[in-house]
Amino acid sequence: MIDSAVLERIKRRCGYENGICVSSNGNSGGMGFWWHEVNVNVISYSVHHFAADICDSLGEPKWRAIDFYGWPETENKYETWDLMRNLKSECNLPCVTFGDLNEIVSMTKKSGGAVRHEYLMDAFREAIDDCGLRDLGFSGSIFTWQRGQTEDTVIRERLDRFLGDVPRCELWPNVKVQHIARMDSDHAPILLSTINYYERGRRKKLYRFEAMWISKPDCNEAVRKKKIRSLEIELQEGQGGHMDAASLQKCEKISGAINKLRCQEEIYWYARARANELKDGDINTTYFHRKSDNPVDFEAALEGIDTMETSEMNQQLAEEPSYEKIKLALF
């Protein structure tokens, strides 16, 4: 179960100032739509969708983003497609839709488990066609969702995707969607990028390890980042290939190694941030004034700390002292 208050804390910790958080319904759903340094106008939202216009610096809408969480129950699938049609029909801007639609378009997007009924996949394909959308493709593993811990029970499907209409595709001719390696969730993150690396002349550099790097903390961090990226690629390939007992064990081992390296990375950056904070404070005393003028979120900072005083104690402390108490304290 995901509570909206928990999502709010995660949003702040990730550096997002704006956004909307919706609690899950039991173990299903739970959505967060967050943005940073982007002009966004929220149109509507529910436990199954977010719709927002992305605007320019003058507040003029340029395109619409619609995030979906499809109904997981078979008998309610039509609700997802009706919602998709209604939201798209209300939009007169270039549009991109995305999210967990809880359905596949064909059996080629599924591995393991029962055969999917054709009429269910037909309904999904018809909704895509009615909305004038097309799949934006992807790189990485074909599957974005996995359940099961053994070779006999594992099921993998492509439930998450990005879809765009023709005007949106014309604005993003070089759009790229990446399926990132799945870690501590049954869903894999999916990332959309509109940057054209080929036009920028970006080339992949040959990586060479230098022994002297291990003597420098900053270089250790660079080596760790490279190792994490290498393991993520290996995990992505493993999750997209044939899944047997050996593959499941290998993926679990790689996932554990990545988590360990990320923990080390988090400790490194936390220590470095503290060191820089103290250094900046020593050099410039206005740093502390800036800190005091812009206090941190005390609710998040004090999270997990037990309250030592009772409401009765707090009430007594807040009371105005009597003449007798003042006299006793002074004389």
- Please check whether residues 239 and 188 belong to one and the same domain: no
Q: Is there a domain that residue 234 lies in? A: yes
Whether residue 103 sits in one domain with residue 223 = no
Q: Which helix or strand (DSSP H or E) is residue 192 part of?
A: strand 190-193
Alpha helices in the chain (DSSP H): 4-13, 77-89, 118-130, 166-171, 217-240, 245-283, 286-293, 298-301, 311-318, 323-330
pLDDT tens profile 46-90:
999 999 999 998 999 999 999 999 999 999 999 999 999 999 999
Q: Tell me, what's the pLDDT at 117?
A: 94
Residue 59 domain flag: yes
27 domain residue, yes or no: no
Are both 224 and 180 inside the same structural domain? no
* Residue range of the domain that includes 281: 218-286
Among 159, 193, 227, residue at a domain's last position = 193
Does residue 52 share a domain with residue 186?
yes
CATH of the domain at 84: 3.60.10.10
Residue 327 is assigned to a structural domain of this protein? no
Structure-model confidence comparison of residues 278 and 171, the more confident one:
171
Do 241 and 282 share a structural domain? Answer: yes
Asked, for residue 138, whether it belongs to a domain, the answer is yes
What DSSP letter does each residue of 151-192 carry, written as one string?
Answer: TTT-EEE--EEEEEEHHHHHH-TT-EEEEPPP-SSSB--EEE
More confident of the two residues 236 and 53: 53
pLDDT band with cut points at 50, 70 and 90 for residue 212: very low
163 shares its domain with 57: yes
Looking at the fold, whether 142 and 184 belong to one and the same domain comes out as yes
Rounded mean pLDDT of the chain? 82
Q: Where among 286, 303, 324 does a domain terminate?
A: 286
Residue 10, sorted as left (phi over 0), alpha (psi -120 to 50) or beta, turns out to be alpha
Q: Lowest-confidence range among 23-27, 60-64, 309-313, 323-327? A: 323-327
pLDDT top residue among 91 and 326: 91
Q: Do 236 and 148 sit in the same domain of this protein?
A: no
Which of 286, 304, 326 corresponds to the end of one domain? 286
Who wins on pLDDT, 237 or 317?
237
Q: Is residue 61 part of a domain?
A: yes
Whether 189 and 84 share a structural domain = yes
Domain annotation covers residue 248 = yes
- Residue 237's identity, in one-letter code, is E
**Pairwise CA distance, residues 67 & 274, whole Å:** 37
Mean pLDDT value across residues 238-248: 84
Model pLDDT, residue 196: 59
Q: Dig out the tokens for 52 from the structure.
A: 């927002």
Same domain, 188 and 278: no
Best CA proximity match to 102, nearest among 55, 139, 76, 69: 69
Domain co-membership, 121 together with 268: no
At 171, is the pLDDT very low, low, confident or very high (cuts 50, 70, 90)? confident
Total domains in the fold of the chain: 2
pLDDT attached to residue 306: 63
Query: Do 51 and 137 belong together in one domain?
Result: yes
Give domain status of residue 21, yes or no: no
* Winning range, highest mean pLDDT, from 98-102, 225-229, 235-239: 98-102
